A and B are shown apart, each in its own frame.
Chain A
Amino acid sequence: MSLIKQLSALMQHLGQGGLNFFQRLGRGHLLLLQLLTGLLPSLLRPRLIIYQIYMVGVLSLIIIIVSGLFVGMVLALQGYNTLVDFGAEESLGTVVALTLVRELGPVVAALLFAGRAGSALTAEIGLMKATEQLSAMEMMAVDPIRRVLLPRFIAGFISLPMLAVIFSAMGVLGGYFIGVGLLGVDEGAYWSQMQGKVEFGHDIVNGIIKSVAFAFVAVWIAIFEGYDAQPTSEGVSRATTRTVVHTSLAVLGLDFILTALMFGD
């Protein structure tokens, strides 16, 4: 008897979880629709967007620059150890640059963005909801989706691809310091091999397309989680966690799909 009860409780739990999931998915898409329909009017208020680019993008610069440098330095160390066995240490520049531009730049920048800017966006919007600020705006006939959410959405969407490019550039520089400065790879070879092998159309553009896709997903998740948060301190803290976890998973999953499509053949 109690087994049946437990089973039915389990079923109920699963069913409820499934329902919640699809409801949230629906609300997420509804919000996206509202965001997209408000896009044009919001673009007419560039000052709001510029301020948010500062909050979301410029304030993420330090972590992106430092991480980019270190990742590039590690890539150079690891790459050199492998390449030197084949006497191919001249290709170090190519290896470092391709890894960064195709993969690590977009992916790591997106993960860092989720932790630095995405979580902050969720917490800020969630807290505004919990303290009735969004509600007060609605009553003042100001649409919070256009006034609060969209400038952040647009700013994040613009900022992340640029941060990814900066990340890659810093990584190439970090690789140069270690490879050329420390390990003695020929400076001319480092740069010229890189220039010869990294194709703008194939590698750099595809990397940028990736980070544009990641930016879209990361900002959408962050803004939705904040807007959909339970209006309590616990609700906001849970939403913030979800932003980081869901964005990370989404970015890594999406990266696999995009890589397969772009570089699979």
Chain B
Amino acid sequence: MKTSSDTLIQVTDLHFARSGRPIFAGIDINVRRGAITAIMGPSGTGKTTLLKLIGGQLHPAKGSILIDGENVHRLSRRRLYRLRRRMSLLFQSGALLTDISVFDNVAFPLREHTDLPESLIRDLVLTKLEAVGLRGAAKLMPAELSGGMARRVALARAIALDPEFIMYDEPFAGQDPISMGVVLELIRKLNKSLGLTSIIVSHDIKETSAIADYIYLLADGKVVEEGAPAELTASASPWSKQFMQGLPDGPVPFHYPAPSLEEDLLHVTN
């Protein structure tokens, strides 16, 4: 298996099933160092699952995920934790610690992993919160935030330790147009000026196409299309046409697998 030094994350022939239902049936993804790679697809295709597989929280049934040449699922616990210090995952829900304030949430990774003096931690936390426009919310508790705000705090926490690569799970969901612009700009800036490698999981086509260098379209447990945003938009394939233009009809099923509606409605169980 060759990993060019250009590739940071290499997903090969990944298979994964959840409670007997296959989620991935052999996908291959390459994440280029320093680039923004987008993973798109209808909800329920397993985008979040893919990020958890990359983070080593779930184990594939078959196939491998290499990060910097290291197989994530073969690492010892200690090495896996060391690898995780280099990455960040922005959870779809934010997953803030609910019993401590916004400030302490952002300070959490700093306090756990460094011996920085409290005054420096304060400066760092406030800088990160300023970047997501929430410095004023530092004293609030997570329960006092809206969903979009919680996700931006989680973003500040994700970048607190200046990771090498960040996985964003639906970073745009629940953001108003203004904060959407802020988040978009922040992701772009982190990527361009700090050379961060980013994976964005999203179904917001417009925003994602605007900043992604490369897009993978997932459907039915497979990568159905891949390419630069312009290529996908121009592509004649029914997959990208349907997804990029948001058409209800096409090869991507809008429905979770089920018997036909007529069958379900007419089938009276006693």
Contact = CB atoms under 8 A, between A and B. Distances in A.
Name which of A128, A137, A138 has the most chain B CB atoms within 10 A of its CB: A138
B167 to A, nearest CB: 9
B84 A141 contact: yes
A131 B98 contact: yes
Contact of B88 (A131, A133, A139): A139
B93 interface: yes
Contacts of B93: 131-132
A142 B82 CA distance: 10
Interface in A116-173: 128, 131-133, 135-143, 147
A132 B95 contact: yes
Nearest to B80: A141
Question: B-side binding surface: helix, strand, loop or mixed?
Answer: mixed
A143 B157 CA distance: 17
Interface residues of A, number: 14
A147 B100 CA distance: 14
Nearest to B87: A139
B55 interface: yes
Contacts, number: 50
A33 to B, nearest CB: 13
Contacts of A135: 52, 57, 91, 95
A128 B95 CA distance: 9
B254 interface: no
B85 interface: yes
Contacts of A137: 97
A140 B57 contact: no
Contacts of A143: 81
Contact of A139 (B57, B82, B112, B113): B57
A131 B95 contact: yes
Interface residues of B, number: 21
B109 interface: yes
Contacts of A141: 81-82, 84-85, 112-113
Interface string B73-85: 0000000011011
B89 interface: yes
Contacts of A139: 55, 57, 84, 87-89, 91
Nearest to A139: B89
Interface in A86-136: 128, 131-133, 135-136
A138 B95 contact: no
Contacts of B157: 140
Interface string A218-246: 00000000000000000000000000000
Nearest to B161: A140
Contacts of B89: 136, 139
A142 B112 CA distance: 7
A198 B82 CA distance: 56
A138 B52 CA distance: 11
A141 to B, nearest CB: 4
B91 A136 contact: yes
Contacts of B82: 141
A140 B98 contact: no
A128 B93 CA distance: 13
Nearest to A138: B57
Nearest to B89: A139
Interface in B86-107: 87-89, 91, 93, 95-98
B91 A140 contact: no
Contacts of B108: 140, 142
A128 B99 CA distance: 10
Name which of B88, B112, B113 has the most chain A CB atoms within 10 A of its CB: B112
Interface of A: 128, 131-133, 135-143, 147
13 contacts: A128-B97, A131-B93, A135-B95, A136-B91, A136-B96, A136-B97, A138-B57, A140-B84, A140-B112, A141-B84, A141-B112, A142-B108, A142-B112
Q: Closest 6 CB pairs between A and B?
A: A136-B95, A141-B84, A132-B95, A139-B89, A141-B85, A141-B81
Interface of B: 52, 55, 57, 81-82, 84-85, 87-89, 91, 93, 95-98, 108-109, 112-113, 157
